[in-house]
Amino acid sequence: MVGLYMIKFIHKPNPHETVEFGSASEVAGLLSEEDDSAPEPWIRPTTTPETSWWEYVSSYSLFFPYLWPAKSRRLQVVVVICFVLLIVQRVVNVLVPYQVGVVTNTLSWDKGEIQIPWIQIAVYIFYRWLQGSTGILDSIRSNLWISVSQYSYMELSTAAFEHVHSLGLDFHMNKKMGEVLSALTKGNSINTFLEQVTFQVLPMIFDMAIAVGYFLIAFDAYYALVVAIVTFCYVYVTVRIAQWRAEMRRQMVNASRQENAVNAEWHSLYAQNLMNISQNTVFILGLLITCFIAAYQVSTGQRPVGQFVTLLTYMAQLQTPLTFFGTFFRYIQSAMINAERLLELFRQQPSVQDEPFAVPLENCNGSITFQDVSFSYNSKPALQNLSFHCKPATTTALVGESGGGKSTIFRLLFRFYNAGGRILVDGHDVQDITIASLRKHIGIVPQDTVLFNETLMYNLKYANQAATDEDVYNACKAACIHDKILAFPEGYETKVGDRGLRLSGGEKQRIAIAQTILKNPRIIMLDEATAALDSETEEHIQEALAALSRGRTMLIIAHRLSTIATADNILVLNEGQIVESGTHQELLAKNGKYTSMWNKQIKAQKAAD
């Protein structure tokens, strides 16, 4: 049922997209008979994968196709403009310290009179106006990138939710809903990761490389070597300590006891302080060496004082990207740790997928055949060599004790699992049919209907977005809910509340019946379809279902045997096997298990009356 919750969380159907009511994610929460024997639940990993750092980072390339605006030429142009602005910013970062040196040399010239270099100062002010995170270039780039970032988030979120919906029932039934929702909502960490790498880390690397080249050309190899060594040591210290600190953060997040959490937090804070001290020490040592060399050369007349100022300005300017690297590296690691959940989610593969040779089922008459079908949840058998046939336009009821395999039959027919034996629809093996086309011809009326926190009209049309208002009215009349809806103050525009909590159980079930009528499938599966209705309403519903069943194949799970007394065939299940079959009268005449169940219900009903 998580799939349905997730659709509610972010998705409103597009008027042009195809929506199938009775999806895998919806039915997962409706059929819970054998939940206790399903596979082990999926959980997020709590430690770093045992791979190299590069392999770990490169694994996130899985997300990159969703981040490039392939569907928008305009956004592609915006990306190009942003990168051009980045290049211009790199050039400006060189021009600012150079212009400071020019102004200093101009002021230090001994010409016998003081001349203020207004033009040179104006050029410097202009460069400063362009430079930095508060400069006009970065402001323009940031504003342009907003639309790209929103596009990336939308694409990645949509892909993540579609992927979750494609996962098998075994995943949805055993998932921790909080884990999955957390992984999906933290998908924005990938956008943070991309933006920080693109506009902070990569520019920092280019700035340092340009600085080495500039010092090598404009000054000499000593300065270039100092900058290169400082950069390498700074990055090395940052990465090593950040890796250690990230592991401390994982331990703090996953600590189950208070003492562990306190210890992990202490180690994390200690690592952060150690990183700050180490970074500052490395940079100050580099600056000290540079100042000594430059001061010596200026004092001996080898260089003008303007170059000394240029050198100090450039070195001070380099501290900003290096400091940002230390800060953003921690942010990036945090984003990557958060994104690990989403990455692991993407790596989950559906347990049931279309076969390469599968073809769509264009038309369906409603014939259903189970041939020697066997299925187990882990090691617990659910069905054992089960065989039966449902002719088109007939009603087949499934009855029996809990755990007998009734819900499993629904799941296998809906192709939630692959089973041993063969399941045929109109003579076609379901494994030879595409899953989407198979489910298109199947409608479900669940026992517990979950609705969107939207209007009744919205929820009803979700089953068939091509339906007109008149179609909705007719479906609701057939489901005996039309008059009830009109009695609401806002009629069909009434908000139903989260999961339909503002409606009674019977009202929600009749809405589900109306949705199934709107979908107009050839095969209808009713899971306790009238369990929540009073006797009078149940009578109307039975009439509506009788009209709906004409020309359609009906499969019904029911514990109240009175609701399926008119079924064409009744299958009595026990421990995954059919122990009896026939019509209501035929089964009563056998005086077997069905008769025993019938007598118990008759006695219980008389006692209640």
Confidence at 579, pLDDT banded by 50, 70, 90: very high
Query: Contact 381/496 with Cβ under 8 angstroms?
Result: no
Q: Is 18 exposed, middle or buried, given 0-12, 13-18 or 19+ CB atoms closer than 10 A?
A: exposed
**CA separation, residue 319 to residues 101, 142, 234, 249, 576 (Å):** 19, 22, 10, 27, 71
Q: 3-class SS at 199? A: helix
Query: Contact 342/191 with Cβ under 8 angstroms?
Result: no
User: Is the per-residue pLDDT at 408 higher than 70?
Assistant: yes
User: Per residue in 345-366, pLDDT tens?
Assistant: 888 888 888 888 999 998 899 9
598 within domain boundaries: no
The CA distance from 515 to 210, in Å, is 65
User: Buried b / exposed e across 507-520, counting CB within 10 Å, b at 16+?
Assistant: bbbbbbbbbbbbbb
Instruction: Print the domain residue range for 173.
Output: 69-347
User: Alpha-carbon Rg of the chain, whole angstroms?
Assistant: 35
User: Is the per-residue pLDDT at 56 higher than 80?
Assistant: no
User: Is the per-residue pLDDT at 141 higher than 50?
Assistant: yes
245 within domain boundaries: yes
Q: What is the pLDDT of residue 252?
A: 53
Kindly give, in sequence order, each residue whose CB lies less than 8 Å from that of residue 11, ignoring residues fewer than 6 positions away: 161
Task: Return the H-helix or E-strand segment holding 549.
Answer: helix 535-549
Q: What is the pLDDT of residue 431?
A: 92
User: Per residue in 321-333, pLDDT tens?
Assistant: 777 766 676 677 6
Q: What is the pLDDT of residue 513?
A: 87
41 within domain boundaries: no
User: Per residue in 476-490, pLDDT tens?
Assistant: 988 888 999 999 999
Task: Return the H-helix or E-strand segment holding 455.
Answer: none
Task: Return the H-helix or E-strand segment holding 445.
Answer: strand 442-445
How much of the chain, in percent, has pLDDT values that exceed 70? 80
Tokens at 4, concatenated = 């349905």
Phi, psi dihedral angles at 503 (to 5 degrees): -110, 155
User: Is the per-residue pLDDT at 21 higher than 80?
Assistant: no
573 within domain boundaries: no
Query: Contact 381/408 with Cβ under 8 angstroms?
Result: no
User: Is the per-residue pLDDT at 585 higher than 90?
Assistant: yes
Mean pLDDT of 547-556: 84
Looking at beta carbons, which pairs linking 214-217 to residues 24 or more positions away fall under 8 Å?
214/94, 214/314, 215/311, 215/314
Tokens at 330, concatenated = 């921690």
Q: What is the pLDDT of residue 380?
A: 83
Beta sheet of 428-429, edge-to-edge order: 380-390, 368-377, 420-425, 428-429
User: Per residue in 236-262, pLDDT tens?
Assistant: 887 777 767 666 655 555 544 444 555
User: Is the per-residue pLDDT at 24 higher than 70?
Assistant: no
pLDDT averaged over every residue in the chain: 79
Confidence at 531, pLDDT banded by 50, 70, 90: low
User: Is the per-residue pLDDT at 388 higher than 80?
Assistant: yes
- Least confident among 58-67, 433-442, 553-562: 58-67
The residue type at 273 = N
Give the residue among 346, 384, 391 at the shortest CA–CA distance from 366: 391
242 within domain boundaries: yes
Confidence at 530, pLDDT banded by 50, 70, 90: low
Task: Return the H-helix or E-strand segment holding 380.
Answer: strand 380-390
Q: What is the pLDDT of residue 245?
A: 66
Q: 3-class SS at 523? A: strand
For the question of whether the overall pTM of this predicted structure is more than 0.75, the answer is: no
Select the more confidently predicted residue: 15 or 524.
524
The CA distance from 141 to 202, in Å, is 15
Q: What is the pLDDT of residue 9?
A: 34
Mean pLDDT of 464-477: 91
406 within domain boundaries: no
Select the more confidently predicted residue: 67 or 454.
454
Mean pLDDT of 372-378: 89
The CA distance from 462 to 450, in Å, is 12
Residue 326: CATH number of its domain = 1.20.1560.10
120 within domain boundaries: yes
Confidence at 221, pLDDT banded by 50, 70, 90: confident
Select the more confidently predicted residue: 58 or 599.
599
- The domain tally of the chain equals 1
Q: Is 487 exposed, middle or buried, given 0-12, 13-18 or 19+ CB atoms closer than 10 A?
A: exposed
36 within domain boundaries: no
Three-class HEC string of 255-312: CCCHHHHHHHHHHHHHHHHHHHHHHHHHHHHHHHHHHHHHHHHHHCCCCCHHHHHHHH
| CB atoms inside a 10 Å sphere around CB 20 | 18
- Least confident among 241-255, 329-343, 430-444, 534-548: 241-255
